[in-house]
Amino acid sequence: MLHAENLIKRYGAVRALDGFTLDVAPGEIAGLVGHNGAGKSTFADVLAGLIRPDAGTVTTVARGEIGVAPQHLALYPSATAREHLRLFGTLAGLRRRALTAAADEVIADLMLGDFLDRRAGLLSGGQQRRVQAAIAMLHRPRLLVMDEPTAGADPQTRQSLLTALRRRAADGCAVLYTTHYLPELAELGASVAVADRGRIIARGTSSELLSGLPSEVRVLAGAGPAVSVRTTDPAAALVELLGAIGGPVHEIDVRRPSLDDLYESLTVSRGAQP
């Protein structure tokens, strides 16, 4: 569905993409994570056809089978949400009943009904994000590129979008989802691609990438301070701590490694390389 290999994109002396390689299969939601400047949005712009890479190859579906929700809001302020759907649906080749049916579907999925006939310039940021996502999904593309689609969004917007994306992936759509909100990837059941300095430095499922990272075991007993250790074997560490304490325990907490921990461990080790 999507195969990008060794992409290079330079802006003067800066390499926004520096050997960027990534595959996304049909029905897969691939979460692309990384700090600002890691190459996420540049890659999304390449897929959208907004920029061309200086080197490397991208193999994907036909241009008309890609839906893109850009990171920055890009709606016509004087046009209503309904008019946006009609315009972009027509540009995607939808006509009459097909356009009406497609519009009705995304209106329901993303809960646009309350502001459908309100001008985009009068909508909140979260409402505009929902309209942009609806435009991207309207023609049922085989590849969806969602670039920070919930940035600054309210919880209702975020939840409606995640639910709609899971439904599209279940129907076979490939989804590339860039985000800074790492817990969203767990909600989506997404695979993870970690970008740093214009390339992918780790790729796999959350469980695969987090295996081997230490958990933190914390025990609070008596009147003293809590005792905590970081370990890859939390069960054994907990038994050892409880045996050493030998008294009443007030609180036990085991914090499993998160995607934030993964990203920190990868970028720290990468920065330490000569």
Average confidence score pLDDT of the chain: 90
Query: Given this model, what pLDDT does residue 107 score?
Result: 97
- Upper half-sphere CA count for residue 202 (Cβ side, 13 Å): 22
Chain position carrying tokens 């609180």? 251
Please state, as a whole number, how many other Cβ atoms lie within 10 Å of the Cβ of residue 12: 5
The pLDDT tens digits for 137-155 are 999 999 999 999 988 788 8
Picking from 174, 197, 155, 177, the residue whose alpha carbon sits closest to that of residue 38 is: 197
Query: Given this model, what pLDDT does residue 242 score?
Result: 84
Whether the per-residue pLDDT at 240 is higher than 90: the answer is no
Q: Count of domains in the chain?
A: 2
CA angle centred on 213, ends 209 and 217, rounded to 5°: 140
What DSSP element (H or E) covers 242? helix 234-245
227 vs 84 pLDDT, higher one: 84
Whether the per-residue pLDDT at 268 is higher than 80: the answer is no
The pLDDT tens digits for 63-120 are 889 999 998 899 999 999 999 999 999 999 999 999 999 999 999 999 999 999 999 9
Tokens representing 63 are 């241009």
Same-domain status, 159 and 255: no
Please state, as a whole number, how many other Cβ atoms lie within 10 Å of the Cβ of residue 15: 18
Same-domain status, 26 and 71: yes
Same-domain status, 146 and 247: no
Query: Given this model, what pLDDT does residue 272 score?
Result: 44
Contact in structure between 231 and 212 (CB atoms under 8 Å): no
Query: Given this model, what pLDDT does residue 271 score?
Result: 58
Name the domain boundary from 166, 194, 209: 209
Residue 192 pairs in a beta bridge with 31, 204
The pLDDT tens digits for 142-192 are 999 999 998 878 888 899 999 999 999 999 999 999 988 888 998 999 999
Least confident of 177-191, 196-210, 254-268: 254-268
Same-domain status, 174 and 195: yes
Contact in structure between 199 and 20 (CB atoms under 8 Å): yes
Mean pLDDT (whole number) for 36-52? 92
Name the domain boundary from 209, 229, 250: 209
Same-domain status, 111 and 133: yes
Contact in structure between 69 and 41 (CB atoms under 8 Å): no
88 vs 224 pLDDT, higher one: 88
Residue 17 pairs in a beta bridge with 9
Share of the chain above pLDDT 90, in %: 63
User: What sections of 15-64 are H helices per DSSP?
Assistant: 40-48
Name the domain boundary from 193, 209, 225: 209
Same-domain status, 61 and 190: yes
Same-domain status, 77 and 56: yes
Same-domain status, 246 and 267: yes
Query: Which structural domain range is residue 263 located in?
Result: 212-271
Residue ranges with strand state E in 12-120: 14-24, 29-33, 55-60, 66-69
The DSSP line for 160-192 is: HHHHHHHHHHHTT-EEEEE-S-THHHHHHT-EE
CA dist 190 and 206 (Å) reads 8
27 vs 151 pLDDT, higher one: 27
Picking from 88, 6, 92, the residue whose alpha carbon sits closest to that of residue 43 is: 6
Query: Given this model, what pLDDT does residue 14 score?
Result: 93
Same-domain status, 37 and 69: yes
Tokens representing 140 are 């049922």
Query: Given this model, what pLDDT does residue 217 score?
Result: 92
Please state, as a whole number, how many other Cβ atoms lie within 10 Å of the Cβ of residue 223: 6
Whether the per-residue pLDDT at 215 is higher than 60: the answer is yes
Mean pLDDT (whole number) for 30-50? 91
- Upper half-sphere CA count for residue 12 (Cβ side, 13 Å): 0
Mean pLDDT (whole number) for 243-247? 78
CATH number at residue 189: 3.40.50.300
Same-domain status, 257 and 189: no
Query: Given this model, what pLDDT does residue 269 score?
Result: 60
DSSP 35: -
Chain position carrying tokens 């023609």? 139
Query: Given this model, what pLDDT does residue 212 score?
Result: 82
The pLDDT tens digits for 50-65 are 999 999 999 998 888 9
Same-domain status, 205 and 235: no
Contact in structure between 74 and 113 (CB atoms under 8 Å): no
Beta-strand pair 227-231/215-221: antiparallel
Same-domain status, 176 and 80: yes
